[in-house]
Chain A
């Protein structure tokens, strides 16, 4: 059965090309022209994925994501514009799965959609091993290997890898990582995280200054390469 995408966007032309693009890729598409219509549609017939354009006339993005999250785990990708980093972070923290900056090439959005459609978090019980290129993270054994060789990871380094692996390919905000690794006491000391990531990259990347596995989302957070 094909996956259903709900596009919530007030611009008719954007809905049109999104419909075409997702239908070419074998999705079924439903459209909503405003937030209330979108929420109603999602309630009546839960979609597999929601594409939500920010800047709808009737509601702000945060409240829509909050509403959806109050009863549903449906993956949400927000369409946003550049230089609204705080807003992006906020939406991701509220439970949006990813974001794409407008204007975007359709391939980018489809790729993000596929990642978002993967199981929400990798759980040790389901598949304990997350693989990114040569890197394997075993969430059950709490260990990692690179090209088959066991990695010597510090506890903080492992925790960073762990939360990224659990979100496999999706962006994780630095606040989410900080909370996961250090708890809530050091949320503003992001240089801790930068240093740990730097050390981690020296262990897992071929060129730590040009990472291919542990990627930075500038101003937002990190993700593992999808």
Chain B
């Protein structure tokens, strides 16, 4: 650790050194200009040379800063008096016109220099703003997409690494209340730095906000706490290079400045809250998946008994003749079917988000998929007009038939759900640009606004029917997941409210290697 005042003295010294260097450079510029002028003066008798000294002044102002510019202005004035105004090689000036000219020049030069310096600052500022805004935009987009706390940490780390331009590691400190710090060591971190970070993170709040650590290999690491509104949420370790070198000091200073800005930004974005929320979210997500899994298994078993018992009762000789009992058992059966579908959706959703889908592809007749989806829904479709448009010369598909059939079934369920009883549902298949498209067209409520795209979102329910049509908003999300897992795409189209919807599944058609052999072998 290094005491603070020492560091200050160092930076003051460095700043003076920078200024001196600038002044020397500006004097060199004036010198070069003078030599040039002297050479020219040798050939042509120059009269108003003073103005030419504006050139080094402007250069010094734009490249070196205001002090070198002022020095250049005075030096330029002096050089004019000394070399060009009689008496030559003396600072004395005889001509009263020159007497006015010289102070005027110095004045104009200083003003010009000042303006040029300002301009340069503005340009630099604008450029920096632009990159900052660009970085920040990219950063906030990543934040928005971040789902877990560690996503957010990674985003912060990469953001800071980008603006600092150094190897940067972000250690996340444990949620408040926990002792010590959990360090995400995805990168190789020198042991000494790690220990120093832990010490810093564990240190009393407010006492230390940063320190410098040695990694034992000659590199110095700058450690800084990164804070949000409610406290520290991490420690940043930045590799500033060779210890003690001049550059390391300069970098350290710049890092501190950048970090100051960055921390303010993080505070504005309320990151620590976002991190907390992400932590809670991933925990609840895991809990929910576990719940969904076990609950739906628990629900399944009684459903089997209920449906079985209900259908037995409805067919019992004593009940068969009574239409009231028959209709009651119908209700029972329909509700059990519905409940079973919901449970199945939950199970599917749990599988999709926990394990992911592993398709088991084989060659399938497209018509078989459509028929299975329709036949499994005979009861549901009994009160609709179902039209099948399936050509008999479609290419075979190489997909998991069960998954695609489930997807198509979800789409059919959805079509029926938002259509009038007795309306037509057309299920078709066609070939289109080397793909087979399975489509379901209904005459239902159609799609409005952003429903066409939002339709595929998990838990999305159209506003017009969310209250009066039962559903979980999982069906089409599942359909899309199943189709995507099979290398296909889903799409929806509607001409507007109450003008029906066409939902399609597009699966690339691949040719079997040896189709000819099988056919040629026959007959």
Q: Do A104 and B308 have beta carbons less than 8 Å apart?
A: yes
Binds B, one of A41-49, A133-141, A206-214: A206-214
Asked if B463 lies at the interface with its beta carbon under 8 angstroms from chain A, I say no
A-B CB proximity, top 6 nearest: A154-B522, A13-B305, A154-B523, A192-B518, A191-B363, A191-B512
Which residues B393-440 have CB closer than 8 A to chain A? 396, 400-402, 405-406
Binds A, one of B14-22, B275-283, B365-373, B501-509: B365-373
Interface size on A, residues (CB 8 A): 43
A-B contact pairs, 10 of them (CB 8 A): A17-B305, A21-B312, A82-B344, A103-B304, A103-B306, A104-B307, A155-B523, A189-B512, A191-B396, A196-B518
Question: Chain B: residues with CB nearer than 8 A to chain A?
Answer: 300-309, 311-312, 315-317, 333, 336, 340, 344, 360, 362-365, 367-369, 371-372, 388, 390-392, 396, 400-402, 405-406, 512, 514-515, 517-519, 521-523
Q: Do A81 and B402 have beta carbons less than 8 Å apart?
A: no
* Seed contacts A16-B305, A18-B308, A209-B392; 18 additional CB < 8 Å A-B pairs: A11-B301, A11-B305, A14-B305, A17-B305, A82-B344, A83-B402, A85-B360, A85-B402, A104-B307, A107-B311, A157-B522, A190-B362, A190-B363, A191-B514, A194-B363, A198-B365, A208-B392, A209-B388
Nearest CB on A from B113, distance (A): 79
- A11: which B residues are within 8 A, CB to CB? 301, 304-305
Q: A103-B336, A107-B315 are in contact. Are A17 and B514 (CB under 8 A)?
A: no
Nearest CB on A from B352, distance (A): 12
Q: How many Å lie between the Cα of A210 and that of B311 in the bound state?
A: 28
Q: Do A197 and B365 have beta carbons less than 8 Å apart?
A: yes
- B316: which A residues are within 8 A, CB to CB? 20, 24
- B304: which A residues are within 8 A, CB to CB? 11, 14, 102-104
Give the residue of A24, A82, A83, A105 whose beta carbon is less than 8 angstroms from that of B317.
A24
Q: How many Å lie between the Cα of A81 and that of B396 in the bound state?
A: 27
Q: How many Å lie between the Cα of A20 and that of B363 in the bound state?
A: 41
Q: How many Å lie between the Cα of A104 and that of B336 in the bound state?
A: 10
Q: How many Å lie between the Cα of A11 and that of B302 in the bound state?
A: 9
Q: Do A195 and B518 have beta carbons less than 8 Å apart?
A: yes
Q: How many Å lie between the Cα of A155 and that of B304 in the bound state?
A: 44
Asked if A218 lies at the interface with its beta carbon under 8 angstroms from chain B, I say yes
- A16: which B residues are within 8 A, CB to CB? 305, 309
Asked if A86 lies at the interface with its beta carbon under 8 angstroms from chain B, I say yes
Q: How many Å lie between the Cα of A13 and that of B312 in the bound state?
A: 13
Nearest CB on B from A215, distance (A): 9
Give the residue of A81, A154, A191, A218 whose beta carbon is less than 8 angstroms from that of B515.
A191
Asked if A147 lies at the interface with its beta carbon under 8 angstroms from chain B, I say no
Nearest CB on B from A140, distance (A): 22
Give the residue of A157, A198, A218 whose beta carbon is less than 8 angstroms from that of B372.
A218
- B317: which A residues are within 8 A, CB to CB? 24
| Minimum CB distance partner of B340 in chain A | A103
Q: Do B396 and A103 have beta carbons less than 8 Å apart?
A: no
